[in-house]
Amino acid sequence: MVLIVKVCAAIFGFFGIIFGAFGAHRLKRILPAEVLHSFETGVKYQLMHAVVLLFLGFHFDFISFTERMIASSFIIGVVLFSGSIYALCYGKAKKLNMRFLGPITPVGGLLLMTGWGLLLYYFIVK
């Protein structure tokens, strides 16, 4: 699990930089400001959680259930939260109806909050 968390951190960081540059240079020309702001929010959350996962990958051994749930909540949360935002913004750029993805964003956000809540619990109990 340590390797999976570190690899996910690196992938999230790598693509977060690429998506951030793409948003700043390409999407800025074709998306309205409020849609671009949503895209940037997805990038910020992805990069922030890449750093958190990297930290966890070097400090947790992932033997406990709580440690595994923290990392899993963050990984799945980023994929659902940021991924759905990217897809929705892409759909707007290409004039595609991707509204069916809208409910996925808050589910990802709930998973991110769950990860942070579990991390708080872990620090208090440990």
Does this model's pTM top 0.75?
yes
Share of the chain above pLDDT 70, in %: 100
Residue-wise pLDDT for 22-50, tens only, equals 988 888 888 889 999 999 999 999 999 99
Neighbours of 59 (CB within 10 A): 8
Neighbours of 26 (CB within 10 A): 11
Q: At residue 48, what is the residue type?
A: M
Q: What is the pLDDT of residue 1?
A: 93
Q: Which parts of the chain sit beneath pLDDT 70?
A: none
Q: What is the pLDDT of residue 29?
A: 85
